[in-house]
Structure 1
């Protein structure tokens, strides 16, 4: 573009666009993080976070990325040499495995094709054979950001229960919290991992762990080294409204505002909006004659859609053209999907018109890149949007 007039379309699957109200909240003056006003802020945040995670248990806030929250989930519940059952659903599941291995855990990694979520039957099969209960935790990525595939956590929980296995259930909701229906307590999750820069519509910088009673009990006997990530000093300080470290005060202001936005819309409507936008995006992709990466109709992500291009086209080159010509940022293919897919993020602060504009930019960019598409893709998406 000779000059990028208008707003930039940030349509990667996170970090997402930060609403103006949240930006203004973050810009408020910093206050004393050991004073009474801050204590009130902390209690308010922790109470409201429970409704986002759908839990009555404690939620821990870290100044961290989602990766930090991953590490916290592991080091607070496990000991060196413990076995963990994990599933190769995509790039981020692979990174979680690497983190666990680096911590000295033994990871039983079930290989996958990156086009399906966790198979609950395989969970039951693996745990059913583990009669000695050597597996201490099952790690599941709820919404795999690299593939646009959402695993069925409730079905995974049911599979664990069928075997009577005592393993903890640890779930990554980095790109699903606040975007896709998720129920920590109802689904029997022991540690839910998340962060700020996706469905919560904040800049990066906050990591979260939601904890079950079972997870807290596991922390009493876990012996992996931990200091900064240790839940107990944080939970103790939180009772008085404080933290055992310097908290990111201004991000916490933003968190309070983002939760107000979610509450004003209503979580169920937020989920319905994301589901509608995902359906419209898939309608466009299929009408263009392209392939959605996710193969199971039950597992399509409401937060993003990964688009698989024909082998003769480089997805990164297509992304480059779309960014340069139309000022639209799309997600790159990660790991084994590099150059093969681009990802359209449709989560966070997004409305129908913004999605339609995004898809129009993708449509024009595909044409300019020489990818053969049917011109009816945009109409297919608009029919979904206008019909709801």
Structure 2
């Protein structure tokens, strides 16, 4: 009889001691924290996809999604990330060789344009600042100069996830109208839908795109496009329509699965149903208000850390009115942002967003979106402050105390 060799485990850890044991916390600008209710809703056996409860859930989502974007237009669900929504929006409304005007502000509108160019669209980028919003006056001037009306659509982000700038969409709409230009206004609201005010119909937006993994508190995997009558009319003449993304097959529905051009994303649909229920229980306007308070608390913390020093920490967007309520890019001055992120994650279990751009070692991002409350956010800010102390960084004053004052003033 042979016996297996016995390996004795040492009770003494050979790794360095850290404080990261316990529940890890992700404070990146998406995927955001998934509520327990949403996770639980996903845990179910696969159902009948042709009839029964899943059909009812699906129908309720298509009825409720327009409420989130504040529109009477059509809602579409695509299995994919936000880039899939970009593709659906462009391929269903554009013609090959025709022009779109991309409004640069940060990074992601330009990436949307790059993807459109790969599909055969003529893309023109209206230059803008990487750390500032779109200039509506420049938009109006460019559209006035388009005398032959070759520009068929204007592409812009509501919030740029990289820079954390927030654009004034109503002002851009007014610029288009002042130029008497017929171009579609397409808005990427991926980074901040349900985190801050967005009024698709009131603001004159023709196409809106979003995704599940940020303010909508659902795992990555589904994305959304909302289209008004003007966009649906453009669809009739579009010559870039692709089978899977095509709106026509999704609008002319004889069977439930045609809404998705195939098998529905079952677990995601139940997750989204629970997430929307949570938003409606809170009240969408109250959700917007919560995000505003939490965002202002982050800005107060960063200002306190920076202390007005030229080499201190600062918000990436200088103008308060142009800052996102969903994500804040922090410039770290003399502090090594990469090292700060490593300390926070390795020592405390807090994951911060890395900087996107040329100077990644001098910026990081804090996601403050979705399923978030003061204890969670104050814990994030406290850990960042501890990380700054660990690195020997010079800070003006306690950012946690400054953030707590903002939150305390907001208590009813």
Q: TM-score, normalised by structure 1?
A: 0.97
Q: How much does 1:22 deviate?
A: 0.4
Q: 1:248 to 1:337 in 2, by over 3 A?
A: farther
Number of the residue aligned with 1:245: 262
Q: Is the counterpart of residue 73 in structure 1 residue 95 in structure 2?
A: no
Note the 1:203-242 alignment, pairs <5 A: 203-237=219-253, 242=258
Question: Would you say the 8 A contact 1:42–1:241 is kept in 2?
Answer: no
Match among 379, 384, 387 for residue 362 of structure 1: 384
Q: Is the counterpart of residue 341 in structure 1 residue 357 in structure 2?
A: no
Note the 1:1-388 alignment, pairs <5 A: 2=18, 4-237=20-253, 242-243=258-259, 244-289=261-306, 290-310=313-333, 312-388=334-410
Question: Would you say the 8 A contact 1:38–1:242 is kept in 2?
Answer: no
Question: Would you say the 8 A contact 1:201–1:348 is kept in 2?
Answer: yes
Partners of 2:272 and 2:264 lie apart in 1 by 13
Q: How much does 1:13 deviate?
A: 0.6
Question: 5+ residue gaps in structure 1?
Answer: none
Partners of 1:296 and 1:2 lie apart in 2 by 38
Question: Could you report, residue by residue, the CA deviation over 1:227-279 in whole angstroms, capped at 9, with x for unpaired residues?
Answer: 11111111222885753311101100001000000000001110000000010
Q: How much does 1:106 deviate?
A: 1.6
Question: Could you report, residue by residue, the CA deviation over 1:194-223 in whole angstroms, capped at 9, with x for unpaired residues?
Answer: 000000001000110001111111011111
SS at match of 2:358: helix
Q: How much does 1:3 deviate?
A: 6.0
Q: How much does 1:297 deviate?
A: 2.2
Q: 1:210 to 1:225 in 2, by over 3 A?
A: closer
Residue-pair matches, total: 387
Q: How much does 1:182 deviate?
A: 0.5
Question: 5+ residue gaps in structure 2?
Answer: 1-16, 307-312
Q: 1:3 to 1:286 in 2, by over 3 A?
A: closer
- Name the larger-Rg structure: 2
Partners of 1:11 and 1:240 lie apart in 2 by 37
Question: Would you say the 8 A contact 2:19–2:348 is kept in 1?
Answer: no
Partners of 2:125 and 2:139 lie apart in 1 by 11
Which stretch of the first structure deviates more once superposed, 232-241 or 15-24? Answer: 232-241
Partners of 1:233 and 1:323 lie apart in 2 by 46
